[in-house]
């Protein structure tokens, strides 16, 4: 059962009743966050061990009230792999890869959308809509199909064919848009009123982040409740990074972990690095990135509604932000492949590229423990090889 109590605006603090549908805060148009009665959750860490090997093992900390609405394809509880071969090659012992490519629809987007679409299903939604540069759309379509909902997808015209094919095969109506994900968002918003579509854009509804925060719970559980020193995360809209940061606070309140936190690292592409720029300029919000260009579709996000939440988590954690080239991403993806047998996405490759830079600069010290996130598999990006 869920211990969800209310929704709270991440910017103005407005509290909202959670049994109806919400998108952004009605007062200030910023993301809403789910809050739980963590005092009442009488769940011990040990009690988790016998549970199912999906993200639903943390159901008390997820928003779904009634299991009958749960839509599951086996998402979450992905392997945390000790990268021994890669580590040996790099002269670094404590290197781990969280392998998210094995999720349904081959990326960690399945986590957020399994939870968001399940909750929308519970609240009576019959049609969902998403602007997406790739993996989020496929994940939405999979869970919408399972729920028997209509699915509407808006994608930039130049997204690789596998992303489009996947959505069509999963029964969605796909609209290809001239421009970037932000242009897709604008068109999707114009069509929302038709058959009362619910918008599940990144951080524009409160539950995708709840699905993605389970990566933080899993890391803690899989590492014996000791978080790593550094987490390197390829950041687009930032749901995963902000979600894990939220999970750490929740786990501390639950008494599951101490107050020690990993340093969080955002990695973006040199051709689209709004968070990296804002981080180094000391800004609270990021400016939209002009002419965003990168082959890493998940990182081609010129503006994020949760920008201030990403920047806050980086600073609170004493983390950093790094931009890498597409060439470095692919070389690093190949290195992960050659040493660890994982066909990584360019976004996953980007985390290793950032690691190499941070080792060279001395920001990551010998003996620290580092987790790289391979957020999706390389299969949908095969045209790059
Ligand atoms: C969407 C996506 C990202 C970015 O994730 P956010 O949580 O939105 O920052 C990274 N990698 C892949 C493969 C993606 O699909």
Q: Is the dihedral of CA 251, 304, 230, 105 positive or negative?
A: positive
Closest atom of ligand 1 to 347 CA is 11
Q: Report all structural domains of the chain as residue ranges with CATH numbers, in order of start.
A: 80-107+209-384 (3.40.50.1100)
Q: What is the pLDDT of residue 325?
A: 98
pLDDT at position 193, please? Answer: 85
Q: Is 376 in the pocket of ligand 1 (CB under 6 A)?
A: yes
What's the confidence (pLDDT) of residue 195? 79
pLDDT value of residue 170: 98
Taking the model in full, what pTM does it have? 0.97
Question: What pLDDT is attached to residue 182?
Answer: 82
Q: Is the CB of 302 under 6 A from ligand 1?
A: no
b/e burial code for range 182-203 (CB count within 10 A of at least 16 → b): bbbbeebbeeeeeeebbbbbbb
Distance 39 CA to ligand 1 centre (A): 32
C-beta 374 within 6 A of ligand 1: no
Ligand 1 pocket, 112 CB below 6 A? Answer: no
Chunked into runs of 10 residues, the chain (385 residues) has average pLDDT values of: 97 97 96 97 94 98 98 98 98 98 98 98 98 93 98 94 97 94 90 91 95 98 98 96 98 98 98 98 97 93 94 98 98 98 98 98 98 98 94
């Amino acid at each position: 059962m869920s211990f969800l109590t209310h929704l709270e605006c991440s910017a103005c603090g407005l509290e909202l009743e959670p049994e109806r549908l919400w998108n952004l805060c009605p007062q200030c148009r910023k993301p809403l966050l789910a809050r739980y009665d963590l005092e009442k959750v009488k769940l011990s860490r040990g009690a988790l061990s016998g549970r199912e090997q999906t993200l639903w093992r943390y159901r008390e900390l997820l928003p779904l009230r009634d299991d009958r609405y749960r839509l599951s394809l086996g998402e979450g509880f992905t392997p945390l792999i000790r990268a021994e071969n890669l580590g040996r090659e790099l002269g670094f012992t404590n290197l781990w890869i969280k392998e998210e490519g094995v999720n349904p629809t081959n990326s960690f987007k399945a986590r957020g959308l399994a939870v968001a679409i399940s909750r929308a299903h519970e609240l009576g939604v019959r049609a969902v809509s998403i602007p997406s540069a790739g993996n989020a759309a496929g994940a939405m379509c999979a869970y919408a199909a399972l729920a028997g909902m209509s699915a509407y997808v808006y994608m930039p015209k130049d997204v690789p064919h596998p992303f489009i094919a996947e959505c069509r095969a999963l029964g969605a109506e796909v609209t290809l848009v001239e421009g970037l994900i932000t242009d897709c968002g604008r068109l999707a918003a114009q069509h929302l009123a038709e058959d009362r579509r619910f918008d599940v854009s990144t951080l524009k509804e409160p539950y995708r982040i709840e699905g993605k925060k389970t990566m933080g719970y899993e890391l803690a559980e899989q590492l014996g409740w000791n978080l790593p020193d550094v987490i390197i995360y390829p950041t687009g809209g930032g749901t995963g990074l902000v979600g894990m940061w939220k999970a750490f606070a929740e786990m501390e309140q639950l008494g599951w972990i101490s107050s020690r936190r990993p340093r969080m690292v955002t990695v973006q592409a040199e051709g689209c690095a709004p968070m990296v720029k804002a981080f180094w300029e000391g800004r609270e919000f990021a400016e939209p990135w002009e002419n965003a260009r990168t082959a890493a579709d998940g990182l081609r996000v010129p503006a994020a509604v949760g920008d201030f939440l990403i920047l806050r988590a980086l600073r609170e954690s004493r983390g950093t932000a790094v931009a890498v080239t597409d060439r470095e991403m692919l070389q690093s993806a190949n290195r992960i492949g050659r040493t660890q047998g994982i066909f990584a996405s360019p976004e996953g490759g980007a985390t290793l590229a950032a690691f190499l830079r941070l080792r060279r600069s001395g920001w990551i010290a010998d003996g620290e423990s580092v987790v790289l996130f391979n957020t999706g598999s390389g299969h949908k990006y095969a045209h790059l090889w």
